[in-house]
A and B are shown apart, each in its own frame.
Chain A
Amino acid sequence: MNRVRAHLEDLRRRGGKAFIPFIMAGYPSLAATPAFLEGLAEAGADAIELGLPFSDPLADGPVNQTASYTALQNGATVDRVLAVAAAVAPRLSCPLLLFTYLNPLLQRGPRRLLAEAAAAGFAGLIVPDLPPEAAEEIRAAAAAAGLGMSFLVAPTSPPERIRRAAEASSAFLYAVSLRGVTGARESLPPDLPEFLARVRANADCPVMVGFGIGTPAQARAAAELADGVIVGSALVRLAGEEGVEAACRLAWEIRSVLPAGPAEIRQAEE
């Protein structure tokens, strides 16, 4: 079993909820990215999504678009992002997940890029513009590299699509909380309980809920309905405006309101 899946299932058995932050590689700068990753791991992240910047991020709102654009201006090429990951991954207490749009993957070739990503220490893969029915080649390449995959489901996904995405997800199922792009919102969508109940009914694997979750209160409420939460734009924005330490403090605050925080888990493991 993929090690991301193994950790999340173990956490679920112990009644814990996972916290998975997302950040953009190369934002606010390439130099700050290793410290950001280490800070998030120390804050108790169960895994970290590291975004590969892309020129045309269709699923992203303004915050991540700006981060992507700035990261590319900062010279965050595929090679440099892999180098950053390779340097920091051995020091991290949690696995790294590669978040990339499809085209960068296709241009280098899925087999080659995913083998390089695995060698750099990545353990999982998320491709927001890749539906499961068109994913055969990428799934095979991910499996060959030992990366766990996560597909996305949305409130508009009918039950058969949820089942298909869950079956294709060797790491966890990524539930998009809302109709829309990434970015923190004032409140959670009112139909979230109903949506996640439908996801649960059609998926046995761990379910992480993301998009629009930016505060500890939102994270706690959303986590009650799933196996954990993904928080991205709120951290990215804070890192850009106030710096990496401020973003890591928010990560700590979010982790601390979720059950089975890092201290409890580590005690259990010891």
Chain B
Amino acid sequence: MRGYFGPYGGQFVPETVMAALAELEAAYERYREDPTFQAELEQLYRDYAGRPTPLYHARRLSRELGGAQIYLKREDLNHTGAHKLNNTLGQILLATRMGKRRIIAETGAGQHGVATATVAALFGCRCVIYMGAKDMARQAPNVARMRLLGAEVRPVYSGSQTLKDATSEAIRDWVTNVDDTYYLIGSVVGPHPYPTIVRDFQAVIGRETLAQCQAQLGRLPDSIYACVGGGSNAMGIFTAFLGEPTVKLVGVEAAGRGLETNAHAATLAKGRPGVLHGALSYLLCDEDGQIQEAHSISAGLDYPGVGPEHSWLKDQGRVEYTTATDEEALAAFHRLTRTEGILPALESAHALAAALRDAPRLPQDHIMVVNLSGRGDKDLEIVLKTTAELATPL
């Protein structure tokens, strides 16, 4: 069915924005095949974002682990420091072609907010970013960046004051200002057609990885690891490989303080199908349907929902979903920093943590790609603070 991945997806939103979703879908159908649109996007990817991002063989790390060869897809080297820009560049081209000059977005860690404020500046659009008050406190440098870029950052004080509530508030703004406003969603979540649009704009990651594996290694990788909050960097790198059955795909959710506690964001591992923010997908909620607060040390994974296509890939068994705790992610952060001189975002450190767990057991000719979705500079404060608290061995 249109707009569904198996039973998941759909459009469960207030009626006021149903017409806007239809308008967006029509515009996307038109421009996804339009050569001028695609050429403009490719040029921005190359000249503005700095694509293609390298596929880097982490030799020291691989040697230390003594098993699989770890390759890092360096999305952290994108302009603005994360994969988020792939999507915002695509959507700003859509928005301006649709004649919408006011851009709104939600943000968790602030990476999507920065990427949105960046493209709004580039295209001369007004920009309003909704961000949970709790996230604003723990990601202060990104708040400052968004403001420098000319965006208005509106704190959200409702609920858990994190990404979930920022998303709700962005949708309320859209319902109110639907005529002139483009809602630029940052992940493969929300009502149809957003999960498809965001996936398609992020799929450049997987296309490049595929070509780079062929060019550098002469073959496909054996496994690919990516972290999953909403799941856009994971869909981005997985999509090109979904039809390659020999490539094992691993999505890594945030286990926070542990799956046995309630302080985690492992939606696929511990959730159940339900409706949040416009789509049917796995989510964390109680028996009455009340959405539960998620927890992760990484603000970008701190979300009680997940993209509907991930729910379908889980049910089909095509992607294996696992988890990494706060502590494992921090350890992975330090390990990569010390062995390779690369500071990963705490989100990406979750993917890395699962890779570090699996790599030693695998043969030395196993090619493992980890999507290094973002850089860790934004996380320095929390890493330094938490490292002292946990006394993580260095």
**What's the least CB distance linking A269 to chain B, in Å?**
34
Kindly report which residue of chain A lies nearest to residue B280, judged by CB atoms: A106
Tell which of B11-19, B135-143, B146-154, B233-241 binds the partner.
B11-19
A179 touches B177 (CB 8 A): yes
In whole Å, how far is B160's beta carbon from the nearest beta carbon of chain A? Answer: 9
Interface centre among B165, B275, B278 (most CB of A within 10 A): B275
Complexed CA–CA distance, A63 and B18 (Å): 24
A72 touches B290 (CB 8 A): yes
Are B276 and A103 in contact (CB-based, < 8 A)? yes
Stretch at the interface among A20-28, A29-37, A124-132: A124-132
- Interface pair B20/A156, CB less than 8 Å apart: yes
Q: Is the CB of B275 within 8 A of A102?
A: yes
Size category of the binding interface on chain A: 35 or more
Judging by beta carbons under 8 Å apart, are A78 and B12 in contact? Answer: no
Q: Is B231 an interface residue (CB 8 A)?
A: no
Binds B, one of A51-59, A91-99, A225-233, A248-256: A51-59
Contacts of A128 in B (CB 8 A): 14
Mask of B154-165 contacts with A, CB within 8 angstroms, 1/0: 000011000011
Known: A56-B276, A134-B10, A156-B20. A108 touches B178 (CB 8 A): no
Is A221 an interface residue when CB atoms closer than 8 A count as contact?
no
Q: How many interface contacts (CB-CB < 8 Å) are there between A and B? A: 117
For the complex, count residues of B whose C-beta is within 8 A of A.
Answer: 39
| A179 x B178 contact (CB < 8 A) | yes
Which listed segment binds A: B88-96, B167-175, B317-325, B346-354?
B167-175
Given contacts A58-B13, A103-B289, A134-B10, contact A179 B175 (CB under 8 A): yes
Tell me whether A77 and B288 are in contact (CB under 8 A).
yes
- Residue A123 at the B interface, CB < 8 A? no
**Residues on the A chain within 8 Å of B168, using CB:** 56, 58
Q: B272 contacts which chain A residues (CB < 8 A)?
A: 107
Residue from the list A65, A131, A154 in contact with B12, Cβ < 8 A: A131
Contacts of A54 on B, CB cut-off 8 Å?
289-290
B306 CB-CB contact with A under 8 Å: no
In the complex with contacts A58-B171, A103-B275, A176-B16 CB distance below 8 A: yes
Q: Does B285 contact A (CB under 8 A)?
A: yes
Q: Is the interface of A mostly helix, strand, loop or mixed?
A: loop
A108: which of B273, B278, B287 is its contact (CB, 8 Å)? B287
Contact assessment for B176 and A180 in the assembled complex, using a CB-CB cutoff below 8 Å? yes
A154 to B13, CA, bound (A): 12
Is the pair A154, B15 in contact by a Cβ cutoff of 8 Å? yes
Query: Are the C-beta atoms of B16 and A106 separated by less than 8 Å?
Result: no
- B315: interface (CB < 8 Å): no
CB within 8 A of A131: which of B11, B179, B280, B283?
Answer: B11
Interface residues of B in 276-308 (CB under 8 A from A): 276-278, 280, 283, 285-291
Taking the nearest CB of chain B, how far is it from the CB of A209, in angstroms? 14
Find chain B residues with CB under 8 A from A180 CB.
Answer: 16, 172, 175-176
Q: Are A181 and B176 in contact (CB under 8 A)?
A: yes
Assembled-state Cα–Cα distance A77/B290 (Å): 9
A137-192 residues at the B interface, CB under 8 angstroms: 151-158, 161, 165, 176, 179-181
Chain A residues with CB under 8 Å of B280's CB are 106
B18 engages A131 (CB within 8 Å): yes
Q: Which residues of A contact B171 (CB under 8 A)?
A: 58
Q: CB of A104 within 8 A of chain B?
A: yes
- Which residue of chain B is the closest to A66 with respect to CB atoms? B158
Q: Distance in Å from the Cβ of A185 to the closest Cβ of chain B?
A: 11
From B18, B164, B273, give the contact of A157 (CB < 8 A). B18
Residues on B with beta carbons closer than 8 Å to the beta carbon of A134: 10-12
Q: A55-B290, A156-B18 are in contact. Are A102 and B12 (CB under 8 A)?
A: yes
Q: In the complex, what distance in Å separates the CA atom of A223 from the CA atom of B275?
A: 34
Q: 0/1 per residue, A71-108, Cβ < 8 Å to B?
A: 01000011000000000000000000000011111111
* With known contacts A131-B11, A156-B178, A55–B291 Cβ distance under 8 A: yes
Kindly identify which residue among B12, B176, B287 contacts A179, using a CB–CB cutoff of 8 Å: B176
Given contacts A102-B12, A134-B12, contact A156 B289 (CB under 8 A): no
Given contact pairs A179-B178, A181-B172, A152 touches B14 in the complex (Cβ within 8 A): yes
Interface set of B (CB-CB < 8 Å, partner A): 10-20, 158-159, 164-165, 168, 171-172, 175-179, 272-278, 280, 283, 285-291
20 further A-B pairs in the complex, CB-CB below 8 A; given A103-B285, A179-B16 = A54-B290, A55-B159, A55-B285, A56-B159, A58-B13, A58-B168, A59-B175, A103-B283, A108-B288, A108-B289, A129-B275, A152-B14, A153-B15, A156-B15, A156-B16, A156-B19, A179-B176, A179-B177, A179-B178, A180-B16
A-B contact pairs, 17 of them (CB 8 A): A56-B277, A58-B14, A58-B172, A58-B175, A78-B288, A103-B275, A103-B289, A103-B291, A106-B274, A152-B15, A153-B15, A154-B14, A154-B18, A156-B20, A179-B179, A181-B14, A181-B175
Closest 3 CB pairs of A and B: A104-B289, A107-B289, A103-B289
A interface residues, Cβ below 8 angstroms from B: 54-56, 58-59, 61, 65, 69, 72, 77-78, 101-108, 128-131, 134, 151-158, 161, 165, 176, 179-181
